[in-house]
Amino acid sequence: MRNFDGGILDSSVLDRQKNIWEQKNTFSFVLIVYFVCMLLFVALRVSIDFGLTDNMSREAREVSFSFLSQVVIMLVIPIVAMKIYSRDTYKKTLLNFGFGKTSWRVVRWAFVLGLLIYILNIFVASFFHLLLTFFDFKFLGMGGGSAFGTGFVGILISLVLIGVLPGACEESSHRGMLLQSFKARLGVMRAVLLTSILFGFMHMNIVQMFYATILGYLIALAVLATRTIWTGVIMHFMNNAINVMNRTDWFFGEWLQSLFEFFAGPFGFILLIAFLYFVYWAIMDIIHRFAKENYVAGEYSVNTSRLRKSEAIKYYLQDGTPVTRLRPGEKALLCGVLLFGFLVTAFTFWWGVI
């Protein structure tokens, strides 16, 4: 199997990754772990909303929330749980999550993808923001900048809390634990779709749910195409980091405002559609190239030149992954986790952002 630079991937690494996720009860175990993470995340958000941290300074509250929600809930719990379950070393567990070596070529293109998905996301977020206003949604809890200010040190702290930690920790739980487990049981595209929806629900507010789901979908495709979770970590970091920098008006603020003003002029809507189509096409083209490079032809091959890029990506990413029928208990767990995420997200429509 070829790697990203045309060399040969270590088959033992791939076999080790498959062994744990294809075990009989792994799918159920992963869902239980993820559900526990969701419960803890909701409890943390509700405790803050009800003022249990009001005696803390705003800076301490932001640091504490980021550490507990990201490092503890999204990173430590999934990795420790899977380490105990598989009885592997932490190094092997990290490999199972996709934290193996990768090439500088993948890293470079991951940064490009991160920039592109940010551009796409700001318009998607603006669209759904406008849509929510038609339903008289009150955007509670969304105002205010970082507690650390817009100075150099403050920006560095914000980049760590909003860029680095979510990039590493949320990717570990979603494109690491969830995606790998779902892929082994549900097939590639269903795994991508369901993990993206859960990623949207995990934000626990209806404002972020829409664009987070789309972001999760594109990141999942890129992770599978490049065969490394580092792609998702970089893309996620870039999306969040640019958003942090945009608040400072250092590099991106004026450019972003000018972009919105440009599309607000004559023929702006037509130009906007063309621009967004180009951005989406560029994202899918990069993913398509990596998916094609890392594809291993199976027994039945098709002429992918006649397929659209999205269809070709789906074909390349299948990679002979077997799809097995879920048992009743597994279906119940999956539906329960999805329902819980949906109910919490829907509840924020009336309660406001938790």
| Tens-digit pLDDT profile for residues 272-283 | 888 889 999 999
DSSP string, 245-313: HHHHTSSSHHHHHHHHHHHTSTTHHHHHHHHHHHHHHHHHHHHHHHHHHT----SS---GGGS-HHHHH
Helix, strand, or coil (residue 2): strand
Give the confidence band of 318 by pLDDT, cuts at 50, 70, 90.
Answer: confident
Q: Give how many domains the chain has, as a whole number.
A: 1
- Asked if residue 1 is part of any domain, the answer here is no
**Helices 188-202/179-186 angle, 10° precision:** 140
Is residue 333 predicted with pLDDT exceeding 90?
yes
What letter would DSSP give residue 69? I
Per-residue pLDDT at 191 exceeds 70: yes
Nearest to residue 341, comparing CAs of 221, 194, 237, 218? 194
Query: Which of 44-58, 228-242, 327-341 is predicted with the least confidence, judged by mean pLDDT?
Result: 44-58
Within a domain: 39: yes
Q: What is the dihedral of CA 220, 225, 226, 230, to 10 degrees?
A: 0
149 located within any domain: yes
Q: How many CB atoms lie within 10 A of CB 224?
A: 31
Q: Among 184, 177, 178, which residue's Cα sits nearest to residue 318? A: 184
Question: Dihedral of the CA atoms 315, 318, 322, 323 (nearest 10)?
Answer: -80
Q: What percent of the chain has pLDDT over 70?
A: 81
Please provide the average confidence, as pLDDT, over all residues in the chain: 84
Is there a contact between 219 and 235 (Cβ–Cβ < 8 Å)? yes
3 within some domain: no
- Residues 110-167 have pLDDT tens digits of 999 999 999 998 888 888 888 888 877 766 554 456 667 667 788 899 999 999 999 9
Burial grade of 107 (CB within 10 A; 0-12, 13-18, 19 or more): middle
Query: What confidence score (pLDDT) does residue 1 get?
Result: 42
How far apart CA 208 and CA 129 sit, in angstroms, is: 9
Residue 219 sits in which domain range?
11-351
Q: Give the residue-averaged pLDDT of 162-175.
A: 96
3-state SS of 159-208?
HHHHHHHHHHHHHHHHHHHHHHHHHHHHCHHHHHHHHHHHHHHHCCCHHH
CA nearest 107: which of 233, 258, 240, 283? 233
- Asked whether residue 239 is domain-assigned, the answer is yes
Show the 3-state SS of 128-168: HHHHHHCCCCCCCCCCCCCCCCCCHHHHHHHHHHHHHHHHH
For the beta carbon of residue 282, count every other beta carbon within 10 angstroms. 15
Residue 6 resides in a domain: no
